[in-house]
Every structure is written in structure tokens, then in C-alpha cells.
Homo-oligomer: A and B are copies of this chain.
Amino acid sequence: MHGTAEQDILCRTDLFRGLSPDSLRALRRSATRRRLATQDPVFHQGDRAETFYVVAEGRLRVTQTTADGQQVIIRYVGPAELAGLAVLAGDDLHPSTATAVADSEVIGISRAVIREIMARHPEVAMNAVSVIAARYREMQQRLREMSTQNVERRIAHTILRLAREAGRRTARGIEIAFPLSRQDLAEMTGTTLHTVSRTLSAWEGRGLVDSGRRRVVVRRPHELAMLADAAG
């Protein structure tokens, strides 16, 4: 699984959907591959935005850190998804940091290459519009959640979303397929690890989830969804 897998992943992205085999081949030649171990950084907040990445395998965590050192998780990025969208927009700097949370493989594409492809293939530029618009909508949804829902519902929504994006069916239920700590969930929902821990403990008591050290399994997705949609 080398070249062919790589080309597969590129044409499976929403960004390059519809690009001709020839162009894909050329793109593949100018792209670079990188293997990452857990914890390896891909780029840092404030770095020059020279290269964006397609995840071929594994998963990245995208975070932002505030002036006073608080961190929030913007998103997890999985196979066939993109990290470093600022490059597509032609921005100078990466506004966020991307880090591998599992052994991963990414394909890097430089600003110059993607800008030229978009200029030559408007359908790719239009795909880029859709990709970023989807992220924008995602963000609107999270903002709405933060504004109107209490902590328990926010955690429920977040876990359900992760289960959808990165869920693995097991005998016990749907397992989120990468290490996810209480602290991580807190940084996604705007609360503290203490509150997340208490909430998961309560759910565990009711048989909704099964969780442990950096591990979450959703046992009753339907009931958790009810809870996520309940008032409050």
C-alpha cells in the first residue's frame, strides 16, 4: 500500500473529487509524504502557512492556544480530511496547531501547488469553497451549542459526533477509535476535566457509556442522543 493507496486517498478527498487522473498523478508527484508517531507535531500556530495536509491514515488534533495559555480543541481530523485550511485561503500564518494523536501518515501539498491547481481547475477551487463552508457550518453549530446548552448536553453531543466520525463497532458498543482523555473532552466543550469526569461517571452508572483511561465506548447511542436533545 504505497503509491496506489496514496492516490486513492487524494481522489477520495472532497477537495480533489472530480480531478482528472492525469492531474492527480501530477499532484501526487509534487506532494510529500510524512509518517507521524503519536504526539508528533504537523504544524504550529503562528508558523508560516506553506503546506497543508491530507490525512492518509491516523488522526490529528487541531488546537488553538490563547494568549494566557488556555487551549481549545478545534477539531479532530481523520483519513481523507484536511488540516491547514489557511493555506487554501492564502493566509500568511497557521492560526492553529496540528498534532498526531495516533500513528499517522499525511500527504503535504504546498501553497504554490494548490494555488496553481485551483487557478487551472476551477472545480477544485469550488470544492475548496464547499470544504471550508462545511467547517464553517460545523463551527456555527458548536457556537450554538456553547451558547444555549448546559455542560452535560454539550458533552453528549461531542461524544456522539466523535463516535460518528471515528467510531468503531465493537461487542460492547461504539468505541471512539483514538485516545481521548477527560481533559481533551473538556477542551472541546468549554468545561473542566473534573466536570467531564463526574458526567461520565454518572453516565457509566446508568449504563450509557463505558469509559476508562483515555478511552470512551458508547453503549447506548440512542439513549445518549435522547439526553443530548433533551431540554436544558
Q: Which residues of A contact B (CB under 8 A)?
A: 64, 66-68, 70, 72, 74, 85-86, 88-91, 95-96, 115, 118-123, 125-126, 128-130, 132-137, 139-140, 142-144, 146-148, 187, 189-190, 229, 231
A140 contacts B95, C-beta separation under 8 Å: yes
In the bound complex, what is the Cα–Cα distance between A140 and B130 (angstroms)?
18
Indicate how many identical chains form the complex.
Answer: 2
Chain A binding surface, main DSSP class: helix
Chain B min CB distance to A229 (Å):
7
Q: A91-B130, A126-B128 are in contact. List 14 more A-B contacts (CB 8 A).
A: A66-B144, A68-B231, A70-B148, A72-B144, A86-B137, A88-B133, A95-B137, A96-B140, A115-B126, A118-B129, A122-B125, A125-B125, A143-B146, A146-B147
B-side contacts of A88, CB under 8 Å: 129, 133
Please give me the residue from chain B that is nearest to A137 by CB atom.
Answer: B95
A129 contacts B89, C-beta separation under 8 Å: yes
In the bound complex, what is the Cα–Cα distance between A64 and B136 (angstroms)?
14
B-side contacts of A115, CB under 8 Å: 126
Partner of A136, one of B68, B85, B120, B229: B85
B-side contacts of A189, CB under 8 Å: 147
B126 contacts A119, C-beta separation under 8 Å: yes
Please give me the residue from chain B that is nearest to A87 by CB atom.
Answer: B133
Chain B min CB distance to A51 (Å):
16
B231 contacts A148, C-beta separation under 8 Å: no
A147 contacts B89, C-beta separation under 8 Å: no
In the bound complex, what is the Cα–Cα distance between A13 and B88 (angstroms)?
19
